[in-house]
């Protein structure tokens, strides 16, 4: 098992009072290598907190997260940056590219920080550029790119270190419908090549490209759906129906507003 999340609990305490907020109550699930999972839930449900813990950006109040049998919640603060760089890839809604760097240098940044050999960097860059169809963008500056192009570059950067797990936080939030669909097709293709992906999204259309959808409510995993052999459109309809049943009312299909 690639990832095991065991009885995860997260309580936030305010600095100047004794008031506590339960973000995660008891989250328990596992992820096999090669899975593609979407996490959905209303604002405040705990999905972002869960992603932050999986990203090693936050530590849980209790519980464990095992990645390849290593408890990532126990990694020392001085070692966590190296762990992220070597094992995790990140795709953010606002791209997080450095405008002062070229596309080439943005993509290579994780390998540069890891002090990888030049030949390895060239080989990986060529592979990522071809896979994401961005060969003609490599010499451009990040600020010259469209939103869709920036997200492709961000995906290339996330994948170039060949991470065990890619974590995507609302990756289509800043994109129009066409670019969102293009990105989802890219992530689906990458997953079919063996990359494990966990993505937080509010959209049933976006979630429908995954193999499994986890639904979180009030800090608890309350339901999950498997895509099976269904098309993305068929799966999207089932996701929307599940959301409507959960909320006690219909939502606009394709935008669950989670």
Give the pLDDT score at 13: 84
Instruction: Calculate ∠ Cα 212-215-219, nearest 5°.
Output: 140
Instruction: Specify the length of the chain in residues.
Output: 258
pTM (two decimals)? 0.91
Give the pLDDT score at 112: 94
Q: Is 131 exposed, middle or buried (0-12, 13-18, 19+ CB in 10 A)?
A: middle
Output the CA–CA distances (angstroms, integers) from residue 154 to 60, 67, 239, in the order listed: 28, 23, 27
Name beta bridge partners: 13: 20
Give the pLDDT score at 93: 86
User: Which CATH entry fits the domain spanning 3-247: 2.40.30.200, 3.40.50.300, 3.90.580.10, 3.40.50.720?
Assistant: 3.40.50.300
Q: What is the pLDDT along the chain (258 residues), one digit of tens a residue?
A: 999 999 999 999 877 767 888 999 999 999 999 999 999 998 888 999 999 999 999 999 999 999 999 999 999 988 999 999 999 999 988 889 999 999 999 999 999 999 999 999 999 999 999 999 999 999 999 999 999 999 999 999 999 999 999 999 999 998 999 999 999 999 999 999 999 999 999 999 999 999 999 999 989 998 999 999 999 999 999 999 998 887 654 444 444 445
């Amino acid at each position: 098992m690639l990832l095991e999340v065991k009885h995860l609990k997260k309580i936030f305490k305010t600095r100047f009072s004794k008031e506590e907020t339960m973000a995660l109550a008891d989250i328990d699930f596992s992820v096999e290598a090669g899975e593609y999972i979407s996490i959905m839930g209303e604002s405040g449900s705990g999905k972002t907190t869960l992603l932050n813990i999986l990203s090693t950006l936050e530590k849980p109040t209790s519980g464990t997260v095992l990645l390849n049998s290593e408890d990532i919640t126990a990694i020392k603060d001085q070692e966590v940056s190296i762990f992220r760089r070597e094992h995790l890839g990140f795709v953010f809604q606002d791209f997080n590219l450095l405008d002062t760097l070229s596309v080439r240098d943005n993509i290579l940044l994780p390998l540069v920080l890891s002090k990888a050999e030049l030949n390895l960097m060239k080989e990986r860059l060529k592979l990522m550029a071809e896979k994401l169809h961005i060969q003609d963008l490599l010499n451009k500056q990040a600020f010259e790119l469209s939103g869709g192009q920036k997200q492709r570059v961000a995906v290339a950067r996330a994948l170039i270190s060949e991470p065990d797990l890619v974590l995507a936080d609302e990756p289509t939030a800043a994109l129009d419908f066409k670019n969102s669909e293009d990105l989802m097709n890219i992530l689906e293709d990458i997953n079919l090549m063996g990359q494990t992906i966990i993505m937080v999204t509010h959209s049933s259309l976006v979630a429908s490209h995954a193999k499994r959808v986890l639904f979180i409510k009030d800090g608890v995993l309350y339901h999950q759906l498997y895509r099976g052999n269904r098309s993305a459109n068929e799966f999207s309809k089932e996701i929307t129906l599940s959301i409507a049943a959960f909320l006690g009312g219909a939502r606009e299909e394709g935008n669950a507003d989670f």
